[in-house]
Structure 1
Amino acid sequence: MAIKLICGILLAAALLGCLADAKSIASTYPIQTQIPKNHHSHSPPGQTQTTGHNEEYRSCEVSENDRITCGQDRIDQHGCENINCCYQGGRCYFAKMVTLQCTAAAEVILVVARDATVPSINLETTSLLGSGTRCDPITTISFAVYHFPVTHCGTVMTDESGCIVYENKLSSTFEVLSGERGSITRDANFEVTFQCRYHGFGVEAVIFQPLELPSPHSFGALGLLRAELRLGNGQCMNKGCVEEDVAFFSYYEDGDYPVTKVLQDPVYVEVRILERTDPNLHLNLGNCWATSGPDPYSHPRWDLINQGCPNYDDSYTTKMLDVDIPGLPFPTHYKRFAFKMFTFVNRAMSHPGNSKKKTTFDEEVVHPITENVFIHCDCSVCIATSQNSCVKSCARKKRDIGAAKKMFRPDPTVVTSPQIIMSN
């Protein structure tokens, strides 16, 4: 699964002094260079891209108590910045990101910051390809530090025209929720492949960056009942503002799609009746669900609302939002709800058992994530009477719901959102 890094996935390369002089150059380290947020790599598959050292690409906002020393004792600011670490108050420390160092002594130092991704990495779930002595990290609240010989911990060695390459992978486990028709996760499935490349003249450290996914076309569907599903994009600009109160002040337009979201980001959904001015009409939602493609009847599928009520099998329960807002014409023509962004998991790759337990995937088959999400709702209209208010309650019995007088046709209309993608 691709995930959004605060400073981007690292892509690093630097030369050390000649290996023959390694014993006399004790403070040599490779320089890691970060691809900044919003930078997109256009490298072909299997290739990497390097950039020069740039101060703005680092994140040095690490609290003093959480700082982990980088480099040797008494290193100065120039030497600290040359190994791409942060320097403040006479101390050199690792940045809030993923830092790889390959030493001339054939050792790997890999430092992973908890806040290097959005959402944050669960450092307790990270691991290398192999296990054994020195393969477990030393963890703090904010960092996990791996320090091991290049030949250990599942590292694969290859010879590329005189360059000895040691490659390994760091990944995390994630929680999977499974339903009858699909499985999802809201955890960041962190995964990064890194290499230490030893030449006859120096050392190169490389971390691979996932490629950007293309943006598929958006899709909408309308039935006999004219209805529309759209996403609110209003944001809080003032202190003390409640996002739910302003989310529907503005909406994404056609040119904004596909909309990108980070895992666990709130997604604000509105369904409304079009071209009707009868105040007695009430819009009712039956089921709302998400799929990985624009076809509302495709799989995998994840239920957000069942028979007008939130899907309580979801640990992040969909929240129904109030539409009784002063100044909104015909509020009964609207339904609004919010859910936390997720991404689909290939259910065939998960281990059987309790669906709410942590699930680990074999490294050779980790391709569990589908990053496209489309939202669908089936909706209908009823006319309020003295005997029936048309207001659905999750505690209401089925015979009461069925008493509502429907318009147009008994079959509900299905409306579909344009595409939402999980941001890289």
Structure 2
Amino acid sequence: MVLALVGVLWLCGFVAGGLDSWDDPSRLRCGYDYMQYSLPSVLDDAAFVLSVIDHNGKPHYLHNSSACGTWVGQDSDGSIMVTASFDGCFVKEQEGEHIMTISLEEVLHDGKPQYHKKDLKCPLLPAMDAPSIDECAAIPRADRMPCANTSVSRELCEGVGCCYTQNDPGNPCYYGNKLTAQCTDDNNMVVVVSKDLTLPSLILDSVSLIGVDSTSCPSLSISKTNSFVGFRFPLACNVVNQALDGMIYESTLVATKVIQTWQGSSITRDSTVRITVRCTYGKTDVVPLEIEVLTLPPPSPVSTQGPLFLEMRIATDGAYSSYFAEEDYPIVRVLREPVFVEVRILNRNDPNLVLVLDNCWATNSANPTDDPQWPILFNGCPFPGDNYLTERLAVGAPSENLAFPSHYQRFMVSTFTFVDPNTQVALGGLVFFHCSASVCVPSATDSCIVNCPQRRRNVL
């Protein structure tokens, strides 16, 4: 039951499943011009006050306001629906996202209030206008996916957000946006996704429709090039909802992750994406599109010292021409992006010493013995159980002018993040790198050189 009292939204009940459930990302929907958030269903037991925080940090009770672009109501399942326009009073643009902050005041049984705050974030969506001439020209002809028949005009082709060129009479109209969604007049839904929709790029073979396949939807058509994957299927294959102004057809695309597991630890280097497309048919021809793109947080390295005064540091590039300073940490990297690591001996000038890396590994805490752990180098060689093998790098190019090249060891590791082995949800916090090393003096029986088998780096 929802009571409006002087603009205050009181929810007579408690949030089913506890307030932890309001962190479920599926409760937030992101449209082109609005966001919609669903609070769990309520039961008769307690009371809440729901507020929104303005740009100056001041709270305002949430209520229906066309002037500020906010609407609050209750769905048929009892959940509370909060909708806010991106151009309203309480949504701001920051770092490529639309952000609105809501506050929930929970009135406990003893009468004491407890406050909870949450930032609702939706990405700034790519425009559905036709791509620029340069964007269209950059797509190799072999990767161009047809958007319409060969007789289509430039006006109609670009009107549905596609590229047009007269230089290719066999395929003049083709997809070029990172995301294109169409609700056609022959009762079909079309969704085309570029691998460049996310960073790191999507593995197109991993993109699929939830609950829609060739068995449940025999008319499903899937097209793919090296750059795009497209889905075309009848509206009847979607989830159907009744609306006041017609029917809403909804479908969701997701990209699965490759999960690597070793002795109870799990990692991934793949982006996750969730795209929800809704087509509304009825009194209006407007086609709302909802999209949510989430990328996993990248790990961050850390410098450390050992009993032999060894230093680990991260280079800014593969030439090791400069290094991140202490105040630069934690650094941010996109999944699968290379991280150039160096370990060196400090305060020694003996040219006979050779630094040998024994094992290197990653954890999601500063303690090198904490779990989970992921091997990077195992017995001095790239860990063979990884689908993106670490690469040992040579040291001592003439241009570097290193006094003692044997005092250095370098390797490149592709960025990854830890995930829960059961839920496959990314674990929070930073990622720390650790190494165990020793100093060796070459002899007739020990060259101090670690010989590793040759393996391909990226094996999917």
Q: TM-score band, normalised by the shorter chain?
A: 0.5 to 0.7
Task: Tell me the residue number matched to 1:99.
Answer: 180
Corresponding residue number in structure 1 for 2:48: none
The answer on whether the counterparts of 2:300 and 2:332 sit within 8 Å (CA) in structure 1 is: no
Distance 1:97 1:336 in 2: 37
Q: Does residue 283 of the first structure (1) align with residue 355 of the second (2)?
A: yes
Among residues 267, 277, 280, which one is paired with 1:184 in the alignment?
A: 267
Task: Please list, as runs of the form range in 1=range in 2, the aligned pairs for 1:58-207 lying within 5 A after superposition.
Answer: 59-60=135-136, 61-71=138-148, 74-89=151-166, 91-95=172-176, 97-114=178-195, 116-117=197-198, 120-130=201-211, 131=213, 132=216, 133-152=218-237, 155-159=238-242, 162=245, 164-198=247-281, 200-207=283-290
* 2:308 counterpart of 1:225: yes
**Matched residue SS, 1:202:** coil
Aligned to 1:298: 370
SS at match of 2:367: coil
CA contact (8 A) 2:147 2:174 kept: yes
* CA displacement 1:260-304 (0-9 Å, x = unmatched): 334433322101122333334433322101223443233322101
**Paired amino acid for 1:312:** P
Q: Normalised by the size of structure 1, how large is the TM-score?
A: 0.65
Give the drift of 1:206: 1.7
Instruction: State whether structure 2 residue 104 is matched by structure 1 residue 40.
Output: no
Query: Is the 1:96–1:115 contact (alpha carbons within 8 Å) kept by the matching residues of 2?
Result: no
> Which SS does the other structure have where 1:393 is aligned?
coil
8 Å Cα contact 1:62/1:96 also seen in 2: no
**Cα distance change of structure 1 residues 372 and 94 upon mapping to structure 2, 3 Å threshold:** farther
Secondary structure of the residue aligned to 2:343 is strand
Rounded to whole Å, the distance in 2 between the matches of 1:105 and 1:118 is 34
The CA deviation at 1:166 is: 3.0
3-state SS of 2:288 partner: strand
* Residue-pair matches, total: 333
Matched, 1:322 2:407: no
Equivalent in the alignment of 2:383? 311
Residues 69, 150 of structure 1: CA spacing in aligned structure 2 closer, same or farther, 3 A cutoff?
same
What displacement does 1:67 show? Answer: 2.7
The runs of 4+ residues in structure 1 deviating greater than 6 Å are 212-218
Residue deviations 1:128-150 (CA, integer Å, cap 9, x gap): 11132223513345433211123
Using the alignment, how far apart are the partners of 1:328 and 1:346 within structure 2? 42
Asked if 1 retains the 8 angstrom alpha-carbon contact of 2:150 and 2:173, the reply is no
State the percentage of identical aligned residues: 34
Shift of residue 99 of structure 1? Answer: 1.2
**CA RMSD after TM alignment:** 3.8
Asked if structure 2 preserves the Cα contact closer than 8 Å seen for 1:228 and 1:273, the reply is yes
Shift of 1:391: 1.4
Question: Structure 2 vs 1, CA of residues 204 and 114 (structure 1 numbering), >3 Å: closer, same or farther?
Answer: same
Matched-pair contact (CA < 8 Å) for 2:96–2:124 = no
Higher RCO structure (Cα 8 Å, ≥6 apart): 1
> SS in structure 2 opposite 1:78?
helix
- State the TM-score, normalizing by the size of structure 2: 0.61
Alignment partners' CA distance in 1, 2:387 and 2:251:
34
Q: Which of 388, 402, 417 lines up with 1:343 in the alignment? A: 417
Indicate if the aligned counterparts of 1:85 and 1:93 stay in contact, CA closer than 8 A. yes
Separation in 2 of the partners of 1:322 and 1:217? 24
- Match of 1:100, SS state, is strand
**1:170 to partner: Cα distance:** 1.2
Structure 2 unaligned runs (5+)? Answer: 1-29, 35-93, 101-119, 453-460
Cα contact 1:40–1:212 (8 A) shared by 2:
no
Secondary structure of the structure 1 residue equivalent to 2:156: helix
Q: What SS does structure 2 have at the residue aligned with 1:208?
A: coil
- Please identify which structure carries the higher strand content: 2
Q: Which has the larger radius of gyration?
A: 2
Q: Given the superposition, is the C-alpha separation of residues 77 and 332 from structure 1 closer, same or farther in structure 2, using an over 3 Å criterion?
A: same
Secondary structure, in 3 states, of the residue corresponding to 1:59? helix
| SS of structure 2 residue aligned to 1:79 | helix
Contact 2:260 2:266 in 1 (8 A): yes
1:229-277 per-position Cα deviation (integer Å, ceiling 9, x unaligned): 112223xxxxxxxxxxx52122233454443334433322101122333
Structure 1 contact 42–211 (Cα < 8 Å) conserved: no
Match of 2:157, SS state, is helix
Q: Secondary structure at the match of 1:205?
A: coil
Tell me, yes or no, if the aligned pair for 1:13 and 1:205 is still in contact at 8 Å. Answer: no
Query: Does the aligned pair in 2 maintain the 1:128–1:135 contact within 8 Å?
Result: no
Q: Helix, strand or coil: the match of 1:297? A: coil
Q: Structure 1, unaligned stretches of length 5 or more?
A: 1-9, 15-37, 235-245, 350-365, 396-424
- Paired residue secondary structure (2:236): coil
In 2, distance between residues paired with 1:289 and 1:392? 20
CA distance in 1, matches of 2:241, 2:287: 14
Say if 1:291 and 1:302, in contact at 8 Å, map to a contact too: yes
